[in-house]
Every structure is written in C-alpha cells, then in structure tokens.
Structure 1
Amino acid sequence: MPEFPNIILYAIPLFVLAMFLELYVTLKQGIKTYETKDALTSITMGLGNVFIGFASKALVLLAFFWVYNNFRLFTIPATWWSFVLLFFADDFSYYWFHRISHENRFFWASHVVHHSSKHYNLSTALRQTWSGGFFSFIFWLWLPLIGFHPGMILFQMSVSLLYQFWIHTEAVKTLPKWFESIFNTPSHHRVHHGSNPLYLDRNHAGILIIWDKLFGTFQAELNTEKVVYGLVQDIQTYNPVKVAFFEWVSMFTDVFSGKKSVKNRLLYFIKPPGWRHDGTGNLSTDLRKKWLNRQTVASENKAK
C-alpha cells in the first residue's frame, strides 16, 4: 500500500493566499464579508483542529486498522477504479455524518462550532471542531470493513475536506446549471450555513449535492430569501475555547440540572438541538413549518 501525503498541511499556504484573494474580490464587489475578530477566531479554531488532529487521527487510524486487519470482508487494491468507488463511498458517509450532526445533539455539540460565525467567508471553512475528530469516524468504519485500506480512506477524507474549503464564499454567486445540479457549490453551502427557518438543516453534502436531492434535504438558495448566517441563537464571544466547548457545557447542563427522569436526561444526548423534555423547545422542523405557514397566510392575504 503506497503512502499518502497529508495534503491538508501542504494546503495551508494556499488557504492563506485564497483568503487574501477573496478579501480583495469581495471588497471590490462591495461585500463586507470579513470581520477581524471573527476571522481570527476561525483561523485559531482551524489551527487548533490541526494540532489536536495529530491525536485524533492516531485514534482513527487505530480503529480503522483494527477493523481492516481483523474483520475486513474483502481486500480492495489501491487502483483507479477503487478510488472511484471510494470517492462515492466516502461522500455518502460524509453526508450521513453531517446530517446526523444536525439531528443529534451529541454530534451537534462538536459540529456547532463550524456554524457559530455570523460571517461567511473562506476563514469560516477553517472554523473546525476540537472534539469531533475523536468520535465522528464511526460513520466511516464500514469502509475498512468492506476492504478499503485505512490510508486510502484518510486520503479521500482529506480530499473531501479540501474541496469544501472553496465553497465557503460569497464571491462566487452561481456556477453552470450542470455543475450546480451535481456538486456542492458556494450557493448550496450558503444555504447550509443559514439560520433562516427555510434553510435550517438543509444541504448536508460534502462534494456531491445528489445525496441531499436523493434523501429530501435539498434547498436551493432563493433570491427572495437572503441568507442570514450563524445560529438560531448566536453566541456572543470570540474566545476560541468558549466557541469550542459552549454547546458541550450547555448540553451537560441540560442533562444534569433540574428534576427530570433518567430517560429524559439521556434524550438530551439523542434528540435534535432545540428539544426540551417539557415540550417548550423548538426544533428546526418546527421553525420551518411555522415560517412556511406564515408565508402561506401572507400569500393568501395578498391574493384577496
């Protein structure tokens, strides 16, 4: 099995150059997309993710090799056709990891970091979790099980991460229709980062948008609904440590505080963000339904 380079480390200088280029282009377009404190927080989160990644990747490799060496069903060689298969398998895994990260509070506690900025630019792509790498790999464990070598899997995961860097921008509006219909694009991913009720928990794609269309989570960016970036309830801090762990603190507070049954305490780990055991919470599905109902009423009133 050939060794694969850590392409993320090699790409760091390109990330920096791309951010300066984006800043120049967006300023010429009259778009104020960068805010200094916010961008510095995102970059710090990215650097922390890289350093912590040395430990989390060791755990991931150990888990992948354990499955591959002891339980694999086949042995898939490192050839052009196996990388084609791995491309689709990895992207499918990423879709479900990403979707569950929005629908399960335990996974959301780490993923929320990436959505915590009220700005949308290439530095936002670097705003990555410090904790998720230690458990999110479970969505990829089926790949060494069917025979993909761990080195191949980690390389393809890095390719996917690199692809997703460039789609975090407002400098690119839309791309040709054929590309927009197949691939994840800046337009599709702007929707994903929106806190608008219509846009919540949509477009979980990594590279291919086809999964969202197949599984019913696709939403096009609308000219009539400008994306509002950030969270439904934004955090008011630029402190990287607080950004990294604020939802973990909030979740464990909900689990262990107050009078509630053991079942309800456990459900705070499992249920979607916004769920409350007393029925007072609002899920993204609730917010979307209320918004759509208001739009319907407004349209009916306008037609009268």
Structure 2
Amino acid sequence: MIQIDKSISIILLFSMVLVMTVVEMYFSYVHDRKHYDKKDTFTNIYLMAAAFVINLATKAGTFLLLHYVYSNYRLFQIHNVFVYWTVLILAQDFLYWVLHYTGHYVRLFWAMHVTHHSSTFFNLTTGFRSTVFEPLYRVFFYLPLALIGFDAFDILFAYLITQIYGNLVHTQFIRKLHPIVEYIFVTPAHHRVHHASNLRYLDKNMGMVLIVWDRLFGTFQEEVEEEKIVYGLTKQPVDNGPVNIVFHEFIALYKDVKKAPKFMDKVRYIFYPPGWSHDGSSQTAKIMQQNNHYI
C-alpha cells in the first residue's frame, strides 16, 4: 500500500510539472518572451525519452544493487520516521551535489553531462534535456545511502522527488525570492546561473534542492543583475541534432586524448576538468575565473 501511495504521488507530481510547463509555454507565447523554440523543445523531449529508456533498462539492476547493500551491509537502522526521511533527503541531496560536481570537474563525466547544458534556451523543458547516460553510473554515487541504512525503494523515491523540484527551477519567469529562501534552497535565480556560459558563472550552483552545499564548498555564485546571462555552452556545437548533442564532447575528448604525446597526459584529458590541456592551449574555467578575479 505504501509503495502504491508513493507511485500515485509521483504520477501527480509529474502531472503537475507537465501542466506548469504548458502554462509557461502559453505565457511565453502571449507575452512574446521567446523563452521557447519549437526545435529546441522537441530536442529536449527526445533526449528525455532516450534517458527514460536507459533509466528503465537499468532500473532493476539499480534497485537490486541498492537492496543488496541495504540487506547485507547497512550500518544503522533508523526507526523514527521523521529522522529517517529528513536524513535521507539531506544525504541524497548532498550526494547529488557530489555527482553533479563530478559531472562538471571530470571531463569524462562532463562528456555525458554536457547534453543538459547544450540548450541556448532556458525553460521548464530544459530540465527534460537529460544526461542520457547518467542512469548507467548514478547508482554508485547513491550506494552510501543503502550502506547508512536506507531502503532501496525509499532512495529511489527521494531521488524522484528531488528531481521534480530540480526541474521546476528551470524557469525565467520567477525572479529572486525572499532572501532566506535564496540562502537555503536552490531557486530559479541560482539555477539560471548554473546554465550560463558567462565566465563568471561557469561551474557554479551544483545543488538540486539545497544551495547550502555550494555555499559550504565554494561553488556558489549569485545572479548578478548587471551581467546578462547567456545560456548554453562556451563552444556551441554546430550540429544541434540530438545525436551530435549527446556525442560531440566524446568526439572532442577522443581527439584530445589521441593528440596527447604522453600516456599520463592522455589520462589527464580523461579525468582532469574540461579545458585542461597538455600544452596550455586551453585552460579550465577555474583558472580563467582566477585570472579575471572572479574568485
């Protein structure tokens, strides 16, 4: 019965997201905001469908792995329901921050995550533009939750809830909220910064629900009113077809690895942050931000 109630909750929440997306599309059209583009929106939906297929194909394995660790190696048994769900949501949100940080600071993972940042538009369907291959490795970031003592169903449910919240902050219609809300939670203003290609904003605001992780670990950046956000990548792919959007950074990574003269340089191209180069011909976002006194 509990699992059925959770399923109904998820269906209702996803339905709410779809309704809000249609409403945002309507207001964007009526007020000529140009927040949406037909081709871009269809690409977002296509990539969401691709991620859904992979997610579906790996769901059983994800559940079984989490359940196995929970059943055989869990360290604690949390009996208080309030404490259980509070700790689960907080821990899950932090581990998502770690996953997201890895997606920006390890180039192999950036090659997969770049898909989500490739749109030059920012609206609720941008949240649909999923990191297609993330379901293949995401579970390994969440294994500590099962080890702590959280049930596999609950971990997956908490993940879906936070994902729905994360989708709702992909909007330009909501400006800044109350300072207390802005200090604690990820808001649309924070996430607009995250999707910007401006140098000041690169690799900032990695949180899904709570922005406190970014404040704690030095990846927070306020939205600056005088600097207009430019959405997308620093180097937009010429071909914006779904296949190229998914694979273009893998191709670029392969070319960089191939041209590296030393074996360790090849390894560094794979695991160092995007922008690193063996000959200094390009730099990481962090180095460029330091050179321009943004950090």
TM-score (norm 2): 0.92
Stretches of structure 1 that go unaligned for 5 or more consecutive residues are 294-304
- For each residue in 1:258-289, what CA deviation from the matched residue of structure 2 results, as whole angstroms up to 9, or x when unmatched? 35222111112210011112221221112223
Partner of 2:205: 203
Partner of 2:278: 277
The residue type paired with residue 265 of structure 2 is: N
Cα contact 1:202–1:218 (8 A) shared by 2? yes
Cα contact 1:76–1:149 (8 A) shared by 2? no
Match of 2:62 among 60, 63, 71: 60
Partner of 2:97: 95
Cα contact 1:78–1:152 (8 A) shared by 2? no
Paired residues, what number? 292
Secondary structure of the 1:141 match is: helix
Cα contact 2:203–2:285 (8 A) shared by 1? yes
Partner of 2:45: 43
Partner of 2:83: 81
Secondary structure of the 2:259 match is: coil
Q: For the residues of structure 2 that align with 1:188 and 1:52, how far apart are their CA atoms?
A: 29
Cα displacement (A) at 1:13: 3.9
Q: For the residues of structure 2 that align with 1:254 and 1:66, how far apart are their CA atoms?
A: 39
The alpha-carbon distance between structure 1 residues 278 and 9, as it changes in their structure 2 partners (threshold 3 A), is: farther
Cα contact 1:121–1:168 (8 A) shared by 2? yes
The residue type paired with residue 65 of structure 1 is: H
The residue type paired with residue 133 of structure 2 is: S
Partner of 1:142: 144
Cα contact 1:120–1:169 (8 A) shared by 2? yes
Q: For the residues of structure 2 that align with 1:29 and 1:63, how far apart are their CA atoms?
A: 48
- For each residue in 1:220-271, what CA deviation from the matched residue of structure 2 results, as whole angstroms up to 9, or x when unmatched? 101111111001101123321221222222223322x235222111112210
Cα displacement (A) at 1:113: 0.7
Match of 1:17 among 16, 19, 35: 19
Instruction: Determine whether 1:172 maps to 2:186.
Output: no
Q: For the residues of structure 2 that align with 1:245 and 1:254, how far apart are their CA atoms?
A: 15
The alpha-carbon distance between structure 1 residues 92 and 169, as it changes in their structure 2 partners (threshold 3 A), is: same
Deviates more, 1:241-250 or 1:93-102: 241-250
The alpha-carbon distance between structure 1 residues 11 and 46, as it changes in their structure 2 partners (threshold 3 A), is: farther
The residue type paired with residue 57 of structure 2 is: A
Cα contact 1:41–1:127 (8 A) shared by 2? yes
Q: For the residues of structure 2 that align with 1:240 and 1:91, how far apart are their CA atoms?
A: 29
Partner of 1:287: 288
Match of 2:191 among 167, 189, 192: 189
Q: For the residues of structure 2 that align with 1:290 and 1:87, how far apart are their CA atoms?
A: 37
Cα displacement (A) at 1:110: 1.1
Stretches of structure 2 that go unaligned for 5 or more consecutive residues are none
Cα displacement (A) at 1:77: 4.4
Cα displacement (A) at 1:64: 1.1
Cα contact 1:37–1:238 (8 A) shared by 2? no
Q: For the residues of structure 2 that align with 1:7 and 1:290, how far apart are their CA atoms?
A: 48
Q: For the residues of structure 2 that align with 1:10 and 1:252, how far apart are their CA atoms?
A: 43
Q: For the residues of structure 1 that align with 2:260 and 2:77, how far apart are their CA atoms?
A: 52
The residue type paired with residue 25 of structure 1 is: F
The alpha-carbon distance between structure 1 residues 160 and 34, as it changes in their structure 2 partners (threshold 3 A), is: same
Secondary structure of the 1:292 match is: coil
Match of 2:255 among 249, 253, 264: 253
The residue type paired with residue 278 of structure 1 is: D
Q: Pairwise CA RMSD of aligned residues?
A: 2.0
